[in-house]
Chains A and B, each alone.
Chain A
Amino acid sequence: AQSVTQPDIHITVSEGASLELRCNYSYGATPYLFWYVQSPGQGLQLLLKYFSGDTLVQGIKGFEAEFKRSQSSFNLRKPSVHWSDAAEYFCAVGDGGSQGNLIFGKGTKLSVKP
């Protein structure tokens, strides 16, 4: 069965510093991979997605992620974090089958220090 692991529950970075959020997945075939962001009390907003092709994908708000098949990883990065990036980030894997359902990790909460 598919699964997603986000090893870091909470990360704190200084504003302007670079960011990397880790995501590892378990899936037998080529997965569909997603990163979502959630602000408190809100729904989830899609940051970026990977289906095939170039393994470095660009998303909204200056985020990017790199798919590494050999490491079963899909880490999210941003070169310079802004205070407004403070939120919870979820990695998800889709099976690409007829459902289109997503399996989510438990999330990483990002705090930004001034």
Chain B
Amino acid sequence: DTGVSQDPRHKITKRGQNVTFRCDPISEHNRLYWYRQTLGQGPEFLTYFQNEAQLEKSRLLSDRFSAERPKGSFSTLEIQRTEQGDSAMYLCASSLGVRGLFFGSGTQLSVL
């Protein structure tokens, strides 16, 4: 399977805990994106990497959020001191150039 892979698929955590999600993009894609989707809404952009460089972060990405893409391959998204408002589906996507994003199945986060 050469699609975008995300792990875990589901994560339940208690408020105040830290969580980390992983995304493995399509191997030849140099761009990687993180989006957040809440119920009844479309995906909202969080951050974007070109190779290993994080080129843009949304205002949605508070100081508690950090993303990395070491060596321009897989990426991780960490949320520190989770809050109930962080409960959402976190989607990763990759692309080659600007001609459309290919999404993973997402990580569903529930903060209790």
Which residues of A are interface residues toward B (Cβ below 8 A)? 4, 32, 34, 36, 41-46, 49, 51, 90, 92, 94, 96-107
Report which residue of B95, B97, B100 has the largest number of chain A beta carbons within 10 angstroms of its beta carbon.
Answer: B100
Instruction: Sort chain B's interface into a size bin.
Output: 20 to 34
Contact of A105 among B6, B42, B103 (CB under 8 A): B42
A94 and B44 CA atoms in complex are apart in Å by 13
Which residues of B are interface residues toward A (Cβ below 8 A)? 4, 6, 31, 33, 40-45, 48, 55-56, 91, 93, 95, 97-106, 108
Q: Say whether, besides A99-B55, A100-B95, A101-B33, A44 and B43 are in contact (CB < 8 Å).
A: yes
Contact B43 A34 (CB under 8 A): no
A88 to chain B, nearest CB (A): 9
Contact of B99 among A43, A49, A92, A105 (CB under 8 A): A49
Contact B98 A104 (CB under 8 A): no
29 contacts between A and B (CB under 8 A): A4-B42, A32-B98, A32-B99, A34-B100, A41-B108, A42-B106, A43-B6, A43-B104, A44-B91, A46-B101, A46-B102, A49-B99, A92-B42, A94-B98, A94-B100, A97-B98, A99-B48, A99-B55, A99-B56, A99-B98, A100-B48, A100-B97, A101-B45, A101-B48, A104-B44, A106-B40, A106-B41, A107-B40, A107-B41
Contact B101 A100 (CB under 8 A): yes
* Count: A-B pairs, CB below 8 Å: 66
B59 to chain A, nearest CB (A): 13
Which residues of B lie under 8 Å from residue A51 when comparing CB positions?
Answer: 99
A82 and B56 CA atoms in complex are apart in Å by 40
Contact of A42 among B31, B40, B95, B105 (CB under 8 A): B105
A46 and B97 CA atoms in complex are apart in Å by 15
